[in-house]
Amino acid sequence: MLFRIFSIHFFGATLITMLILMSPISQITAEESRNTWRYGIPGKLVKATASRTVPLMVSPIVWSVVSVPIRPVKGTDGLVHLVYELNARNDSRHTLDLTTLDVLDPRTGQPTGRNQAFSLDGQDISGKIRPFALTNPSQTSTDFSNQLGPGQGGVIYFDLTYSSARDVPPCLKHRVSVSFQKVDNNPQSYTTEDECTVVSRERTLVIQPPLEGDGWLNANGSGPIISPHRYSTQATNGILRSPEHFAIDFVKLDHHGKLNTGDPNDNASFFGYGLNVRSATSGRVIEMLDGIPNQIPGQLVPPQEASQYGGNHVTVEIGSGKYAFYAHLAPGSVKVSHGDHVGVGQILGKVGNSGNSDAPHLHFQIMDSASPFNTNGLPFVFNQMNYRGQLKGTVNSVMDSLFNGIGADIEASGTSRRQQQMPLTLDVVNFR
């Protein structure tokens, strides 16, 4: 792709464009209005405008926050997590090197929070790009790079944490530096800042656990590990979305940390299979599906239609533009019908292995629309649970052990009763 910004060719326009693109960033300034933020009514952001001289920063990299506003949630580590993604694009004919990426507090102009991101094989990939142009995505560290090819786009993942909600800025800015080699082999570098992206001050949804009993592992969830749910940023209806970046896949372990016993090809051998799935909220059933057969564990045959990826499922409208989604239920187990009003704790169905699933589990998420695909995932916390600890090892090593019949080891630090927290990937919790 050619490195062009304007397509207008009035007299002088092309020349001006080229001068801007070839000039050092520091030489170009403009008087612009800067968005600042203050608190008026408690919890409500009021926008104020202050004029200052700021650099006009031209750069070949373009980016935006995928899901706005950014929504905080408190995790089982006691930290407030800002889980989000950037959609980045290289608008030049050069291969760009991403040299630095800082998240800034606009009130101070200084870096804020602690950002962490780890691949499924446990490697630090914070500040790296996952290009869309990958031929064979592996969801490991090999998918992530500091480079973005000509005209290519990709995703940068964030899990920005704070010790307290009071420390979270009202909005976040991103400062990105890139460089490339010119034809004459001299390096060219650019640094750009974006506009502030609002951080929501809405209270996180508090719900009841959708399961009961001990040993529920969050095998695929939110937090610094870029799990398959976080990896699944995708375009629907022309917009890039993060439908599952707060979703959880729950599987049940026994007291030895094992996933199943007996025949590994039999769904009934898995400890979670057939257990009750309960409504985490009150609301109205707006969609349900039953009758899709189970998959054979470890032998996934992807469904032909996107509508069947959730397998047997129930969608509950819970009010305030929020929806709860319960997926992969056992065939013949769904207990509710379209239009039914359900109460907290009411049985919706049973844990199964239907749809896009390779082992019995419950996929659970909160959404801002009725579609589990054409939606943005929303954070939630459980009213109470017992935190048992986190499994040792990487996601890949843990899953290999579990599917090979080997019990997983739990790092049982911080074991205690928890209230209004979200389990993170590899956490083990009890629901009583």
Per-residue pLDDT of 373-398, as tens digits, reads 999 999 999 999 999 999 999 999 99
Among 234, 65, 228, CA closest to 158:
65
Residue 160 CB coordination number (10 Å): 25
Cα 350 from Cα 274, distance rounded (Å): 5
Cite the DSSP H helix spans in 154-293.
228-231
- Phi then psi for residue 165, to 5 deg, are -60, -25
- Stated pTM of the model: 0.86
* pLDDT for the residue 186: 84
Q: Place 172 in a pLDDT band, splitting at 50, 70 and 90.
A: very high
Token couple for 53: 């001289």
pLDDT of 7 above 70: no
pLDDT of 12 above 90: no
| Average confidence (pLDDT) over 219-237 | 92
Share of the chain above pLDDT 90, in %: 79
Among 145, 157, 20, CA closest to 87:
157
Cα 206 from Cα 225, distance rounded (Å): 23
| Average confidence (pLDDT) over 48-63 | 66
pLDDT of 124 above 90: yes
Q: Place 87 in a pLDDT band, splitting at 50, 70 and 90.
A: very high
pLDDT of 15 above 80: no
pLDDT of 206 above 80: yes
Cα 76 from Cα 423, distance rounded (Å): 6
Q: Domain 205-431, what architecture?
A: Distorted Sandwich (2.70)
Instruction: Read off the pLDDT of residues 304-334 as tens digits, 9 standing for 90 and up.
Output: 888 899 999 999 999 999 999 999 999 999 9
| Average confidence (pLDDT) over 268-282 | 98
Q: Place 246 in a pLDDT band, splitting at 50, 70 and 90.
A: very high
- Sequence ranges of the domains in the chain: 61-198, 205-431
Annotation: CATH topology of 61-198:
Immunoglobulin-like (2.60.40)
Residue 122 CB coordination number (10 Å): 14
| Average confidence (pLDDT) over 145-164 | 97
Calculate ∠ Cα 294-358-136, nearest 5°. Answer: 135
Among 115, 425, 426, CA closest to 244:
425
As to burial, measured by CB atoms within 10 angstroms (0-12 exposed, 13-18 middle, 19+ buried), residue 97 is: middle
pLDDT of 415 above 90: no
Q: What is the DSSP string of 91-112?
A: -SSSPEEEEEEEEEETTTTEE-
Instruction: Read off the pLDDT of residues 24-42 as tens digits, 9 standing for 90 and up.
Output: 333 323 333 333 343 333 3
